[in-house]
């Protein structure tokens, strides 16, 4: 399942900040400055322009001209997964942090995470984030709370334990922009190209394919996520949103742990089913008026691969009859309207 494996050997002490860029010119300078102004000395910045059609490439070029530690790469538009994989292939740092071109990080993000890695002998340091609206008066529909719960912070633990507890407390935040990790420890694990919601797959693989890895979680809000119109998070749902969730579920079902009789296997199985539900929750917007047969078959393929003891009956039901979710959605809407009348 490794999509790019020819990474360069890591240079001890250096941190690689990989920035994926696509049509974010108005916000890009703030992002680049936050990476360049880290109080950690050994930082390389790899900015991958994913075929932008605005002035993002020019902004990157001007910034690289005045910063010796910045590398800019331009590629045809292939999506954030391919851009991050390109950055991983070029990275030379011992530590990796991902950043999107419309967001920014705090000045001590890298130094604090590296300090905790060394103090506690861990391989990943997670942290919290602040979200803010830009260009919209109210937050978009969805969950944009990036706080870390006390049950997860302040103590080192095994990667699989962190996954289980994060899921148990409904605080699993899989964005790759919310942690720093040791590159050599997770060599061979890269992003699945060409899909949305790839974060759910990448981060889960980090935690469950290197189950003996150690993690530490900080409560500090070191990342700033910009909620803006027409971003992947806020745009109207399309077929690729549904397909992304389905592909993530299918890829996760291929992990060995998905068939285990264990607490980790149970937690992963439930997460896979959540991916299915997340995809199906939007299908009537993306595929009016009916979910295609190919997608229904994909759902059943996922369920055939996981441990049947952990499959929830409701998941089987909505896979066979996804129209039930639409009925439930309309019923809730009717009840809500009736309550206001």
18 touches 84 (CB < 8 A): yes
pLDDT in tens, 205-222: 999 999 899 999 999 999
**Tens of pLDDT, residues 115-128:** 999 999 999 999 99
Which residue bears the tokens 């993306």? 286
Contact criterion met (CB below 8 Å) for 45 and 71: yes
Taking a C-beta distance cutoff of 8 angstroms, is the pair 229, 137 a contact? Answer: no
Orientation of helix 313-320 relative to helix 323-340, angle to 10°: 100
**Per-residue pLDDT band at 265 (split at 50, 70, 90):** very high
> Domain 11-227 is classified in which CATH homologous superfamily?
Spore Coat Polysaccharide Biosynthesis Protein SpsA; Chain A (3.90.550.10)
Instruction: Please work out, in degrees rounded to the nearest 5, the angle formed at the alpha carbon of residue 160 by the alpha carbons of 159 and 166.
Output: 90
Higher pLDDT, 236 or 48: 48
CB atoms within 10 A of CB 138: 7
Classified as helix, coil or strand, 301 is helix
Exposure letters 221-251 (e unless 16+ CB within 10 A, then b): bbbbbbbbeebeebeebeeebbbbbbbbbbb
How far, in Å, are 13, 54, 57, 66 from residue 87 at the CA level? 18, 21, 16, 20
Query: pLDDT for 61-70, tens place per residue?
Result: 999 999 999 9
pLDDT for residue 2 is more than 60: no
Asked if residue 30 lies in contact with residue 104, where contact means CB atoms within 8 angstroms, the answer is: yes
Residue-range domain boundaries for the chain = 11-227, 239-340
CA angle 73, 77, 80 (to 5 degrees): 80
Residue 311 has pLDDT above 80, yes or no: yes
Helices (H), the chain: 25-36, 56-65, 80-90, 109-120, 159-168, 198-209, 239-253, 263-280, 283-286, 293-305, 313-320, 323-340
State the chain's mean pLDDT as an integer. Answer: 88
Across the range 166-182, mean pLDDT stands at: 97
Reduce the DSSP state of residue 140 to 3 states and report it: coil
């Amino acid at each position: 399942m490794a999509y790019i494996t020819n990474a360069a050997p890591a240079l001890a002490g250096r941190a690689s900040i990989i920035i994926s860029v696509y049509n974010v010119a108005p916000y890009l300078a703030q992002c680049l400055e936050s990476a360049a102004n880290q109080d950690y000395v050994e930082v390389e910045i790899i900015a991958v322009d994913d075929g932008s059609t605005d002035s993002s490439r020019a902004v990157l070029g001007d910034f690289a001209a005045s910063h010796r530690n910045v590398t800019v790469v331009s590629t045809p538009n292939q999506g954030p997964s391919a851009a991050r994989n390109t950055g991983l292939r070029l990275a030379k740092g011992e530590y990796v942090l991902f950043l999107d071109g419309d967001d920014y990080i705090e000045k001590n993000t890298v130094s604090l995470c590296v300090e905790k890695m060394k103090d506690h002998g861990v391989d990943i340091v997670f942290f919290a984030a602040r979200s803010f609206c830009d260009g919209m008066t109210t937050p978009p529909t969805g969950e944009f709370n990036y706080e870390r719960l006390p049950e997860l912070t302040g103590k080192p633990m095994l990667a699989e334990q962190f996954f289980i507890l994060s899921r148990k407390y409904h605080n699993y935040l899989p964005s790759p922009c919310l942690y720093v990790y040791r590159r050599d420890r997770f060599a061979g694990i890269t992003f699945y190209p060409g899909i949305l919601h790839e974060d759910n797959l990448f981060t889960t693989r980090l935690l469950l394919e290197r189950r003996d890895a150690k993690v530490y979680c900080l409560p500090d809000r070191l990342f700033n996520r910009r909620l803006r119109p027409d971003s992947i998070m806020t745009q109207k749902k399309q077929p690729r949103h549904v397909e992304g969730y389905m592909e993530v579920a299918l890829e996760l079902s291929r992990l060995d742990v998905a068939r285990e009789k264990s607490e980790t296997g149970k937690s992963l199985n439930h997460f896979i089913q959540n991916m299915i539900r997340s995809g199906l929750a939007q299908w009537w917007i993306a595929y009016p008026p009916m979910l295609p047969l190919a997608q229904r078959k994909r759902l059943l393929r996922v369920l055939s691969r996981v441990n049947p003891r952990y499959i929830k009956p409701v998941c089987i039901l909505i896979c066979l009859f996804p129209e039930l979710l639409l009925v439930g959605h309309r019923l809730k809407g009717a009840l809500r309207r009736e309550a206001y009348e």
